[in-house]
Chains A and B, each alone.
Chain A
Amino acid sequence: MLRRARRFLEFPFLPEVVAILTAFLLGLLVLFFTGYPPLRAFSALFRGAFGSRNAFGQTLTQATPILFTSLSFLLSFRAGIFNIGIEGQLLMGAFVAALLGTMIRSLPLPLHLPLALLGGGLGGALWALIPALIKTYLGAHEVITTMMMSYIASYLTSYFVNYPFKAPGWVAQTNPVQPTALLPRILPPTQLSLAFPLALVFSVLVFYFLFRTYLGFQVRAVGLNPEVAENRGISVASRQILAFLLSGFVAGIGGAGEVLGVHGKFVDGFSPGYGWDGIAVSLVGRLHPLGCILASLLFGMLRAGGMTMARVTKVPLDLSLIIQALVILLIAAPRLIRIFILRKRGL
């Protein structure tokens, strides 16, 4: 009996499972005390997330951008960098992709689409390069600089689509992307596009990079103990810049995926904070690419289900955001605090 109890306690994902169950339970309580019918709301939430082909497509669609951004955060974090400007890198990537998608005409799809995607990635990478260089050469901490760059990107892209690149009409958005640059939809009528499988491919690539290549190994060494890495001849600055670039690249691809896969253009304010969610998702996913896949599915489900729930019951979308916040509070926050304390103590 005791043996069995102990084995249960050693189940590796116990903290996550307990936290998620607790979050849902607390969510139920919130519903109960605010006078909504808890069970009806929850069944709507689950139906909205998995209940049908379309619901499932919706969940995957919602999971896609946060899978990209969580991978982005993971890449920087593994190098000991705290890139919290992913939102900005995502926006810049999205905007470059939109530009390439709209401006270039008469290029065949096999060329145009990859070009637009790649442009998106490079846009994000370039935006990450600036804080990377500032950190290396001026020593300013990336938490400040990436955040500032993020605001700049947000206002800058907003300005672009409100003025110089605005499509005719009332809405602040660019012209539609050429059909040759659109990511094909894979589960019509949902918005699920090739961006999702692409995100899965990127998860595997990130895994491969970190755990199977020597550069990834060096990045991890730098992240865990820069002094030892330096002592073994690994250039800390260059590996951190590399991680920054890759992190920005992945975030940029994430943004491009939204433009080319979901909206078909750059719409002002299209991101409800995917970049910020990525940080939490990454931590819930234990800073591991495969964990990120699972965690982003969870968050995607909460978003997709929450929207359905808001539509069929009167429970606002905020409920699923509350659950999401609880998951973050119960898993990600303690983890982050632990990591910081250990770092402070130099362990």
Chain B
Amino acid sequence: MAFALQVRGLTKSFPGVLANDHIDLDVEEGEIHGILGENGAGKSVLMSVIYGLYRPDEGKILVRGQEVAIGSPSQAIRCGIGMVHQNLTLVPQLRVFENIILGQEPRRGIFLERQKARRRIEELLHQTGLSIDLNARVRDLPIGLQQRVEILKMLYRGASILIFDEPTTVLTPQEVDQLITYLLALKKQGKTIIFISHKLREVFALCDRVTVLRRGKKVGTCAIKEATPESLAEMMVGRRVLFELPRGRKPAEEVVFSVEGVSTLPEKGKALREVSFRVHRYEILGIAGVEGNGQTELAETIVGLRRVRQGKLVLNGEDITYLSVKERIKRGLAHIPEDRHRRGAILDFTVMENLMLGFEDEPPLRRGLLTLHFPTLQEFASSLIREFEIATPGGDTLVRTLSGGNQQKVVLARELSHPVSVLLACQPTRGLDVAATEYLHRKLLELKNQGKAVVLISADLDEIRALSDRVLVLYEGRIIGELSPESDEYQFGLLMGGKSLAS
């Protein structure tokens, strides 16, 4: 078998972290090769080294048997290696066409040969079966299509080895299905693909072989045919992972939090229309729905970032409709935001600073009129780091350098560090590895079994059904139905598509 890409003894360290420790990797020509591993295992670093973003401390890279020195992404592209990053790198103001040729404009003299470029792209579209409007502005496209532009850009540059670093974390389930179809089509044309994901379902649907990393070391490579979800999870984590957790006790009668006929104005997004629900003690209430149907708006309304036009929010019997964000936090409303980089954690703050965020202005963290009390802070931070098993060199490490799962743990730890009565968890396991997902699910169930109420908003139907006691479906800013988690997928599909069950 010919190898498209080989890595030998690759080592890369950062201050205090050995991110890649003598890694060997063999990717066969024309296969889809999965890279699996926990958050922080070193997958992204390995890919960044291959793509020339980081220089390795040791080791070599071979492309089709030839040793190559890759010092920059442009050299990687010359070797036929392309990468789609988790955070897309397109220019939003430009058109699709312009984005694709950006940096590689064909020219004659000083003139752009637009027609020639266009023909080549159309040819590409035809070959790959991808379809997209070349004249659309990138900022107007949904994220799934933007990703498609990124793929085209890579193909246009002649990449034959394509690296995808967690391409599916930003996609809706429908977009994921489409991506899988395209990737299989690309494989059929002989492209070699490296695919990183935490979702075993996707890995089984796509990959031929997978390589598992753990704490910077390679655990092994195996053919997907010989693997099971359990065996892969065990390889990644080093112990058995439970995909199904015992749900615990039944909800109590007592209502902790209720939303009563809430409507909002359609400023920046969907308006909520007469949304009502109650969450009880010992209950996890799931809110399902296709993304973009008001989930973000509902969360922002509950947190206090969006004005309510009509209706009210009641927490522990108290009307909190007009209370500030701060007052709501004080009354025990905790929140895991859907986008942890935009709303959850400050990347350029340290772990400690992120943990204290929102609690800094009250004793015991504040002593005296203005002063922060550092011994207490450090104690507070290190006890949370221990309790939530956040993998970080210390409290004064920047959150930017933590892996995704650990960034999420920082947010979770902060939200649960103070007495909680209701937790609003939005897409809480997006981008988390199997172990961190299991951990987070455990925490949610633990909270529920302590008598708290949890509102779980998620696009991942499996997650919703595994955890919730009841499920509401959100469609076009309205709750259009309630299901039990045992209802079959068909019923969920109908409701999520906007067809109410009664009619």
Contacts and interface: CB of A to CB of B under 8 A. Distances in A.
A314 interface: no
Given A214-B372, A233-B326, A221 B366 contact: no
Contacts of A347: 347
B372 A212 contact: yes
A4 interface: no
Given A213-B371, A214-B365, A227-B342, A221 B325 contact: no
B344 interface: yes
B379 interface: no
A312 to B, nearest CB: 47
Interface in A208-234: 212-215, 217-218, 220-221, 224-225, 227-234
Given A213-B370, A213-B372, A217-B353, A234 B358 contact: yes
Residue from A213, A218, A224, A346 whose CB has the most chain B CB atoms within 10 Å: A213
B346 interface: yes
Given A214-B370, A218-B361, A233 B349 contact: no
A228 B324 contact: no
B360 A233 contact: no
A232 B366 contact: no
A231 B361 contact: no
B342 A346 contact: yes
B342 A232 contact: no
A200 B22 CA distance: 50
A8 to B, nearest CB: 16
Nearest to B345: A228
Interface residues of A, number: 20
B306 to A, nearest CB: 11
B370 A228 contact: no
Contacts of A218: 360-361
A5 to B, nearest CB: 14
Contacts of B40: none
B99 to A, nearest CB: 15
A221 B371 contact: no
B368 to A, nearest CB: 9
A346 B92 CA distance: 13
Contacts of B353: 217, 221
Given A228-B357, A232-B329, A215 B370 contact: yes
Given A212-B371, A214-B372, A221 B324 contact: no
B108 interface: no
Contacts of B251: none
A32 B305 CA distance: 62
Contacts of B357: 221, 228-229, 232
A218 B356 CA distance: 11
B305 A230 contact: yes
Contact of A233 (B324, B337, B372): B324
B249 to A, nearest CB: 32
A333 to B, nearest CB: 21
A225 B341 CA distance: 9
Nearest to A346: B342
Interface string A274-314: 00000000000000000000000000000000000000000
Nearest to B354: A228
- Name, among B327, B337, B346, the residue most crowded by chain A CB atoms within 10 Å (CB to CB): B346
A220 B354 CA distance: 12
B325 A232 contact: yes
B126 interface: no
A229 B361 CA distance: 13
Interface in A69-91: none
B348 interface: yes
A59 B348 CA distance: 36
Interface string B300-335: 000101000000000000000000111111000001
B225 interface: no
A217 B355 CA distance: 12
B344 A228 contact: yes
A313 B167 CA distance: 65
A213 B368 CA distance: 10
A231 B325 contact: yes
B201 interface: no
A224 B346 contact: yes
A217 B372 contact: yes
B370 A230 contact: no
A230 B325 contact: yes
A234 B357 CA distance: 9
B335 A228 contact: no
B343 interface: yes
A231 B345 CA distance: 10
A63 to B, nearest CB: 29
Given A217-B372, A224-B348, A346-B342, A231 B360 contact: no
A212 B365 CA distance: 11
A221 B349 contact: yes
A347 B87 CA distance: 10
A346 B348 CA distance: 12
A234 B361 CA distance: 10
A234 B360 CA distance: 10
A233 B348 contact: no
A221 B353 CA distance: 9
A230 B305 CA distance: 8
Contacts of B370: 213-215
Contacts of B337: 231
Contacts of A234: 326, 358
Nearest to A215: B370
Nearest to A233: B326
B13 to A, nearest CB: 12
Interface of A: 212-215, 217-218, 220-221, 224-225, 227-234, 346-347
22 contacts: A212-B371, A212-B372, A212-B374, A213-B372, A214-B366, A215-B370, A221-B346, A221-B353, A224-B346, A224-B348, A224-B349, A225-B346, A227-B343, A228-B345, A230-B325, A231-B335, A231-B337, A231-B344, A232-B329, A232-B358, A233-B324, A347-B347
Given A214-B371, A217-B372, A233-B358, 11 more contacts: A212-B372, A218-B360, A221-B353, A221-B357, A228-B344, A230-B325, A231-B337, A231-B344, A232-B358, A233-B326, A234-B326
Going nearest first, the 10 A-B pairs with the smallest beta carbon separation are A233-B326, A232-B358, A213-B370, A233-B325, A214-B360, A225-B346, A214-B361, A231-B343, A232-B357, A224-B346
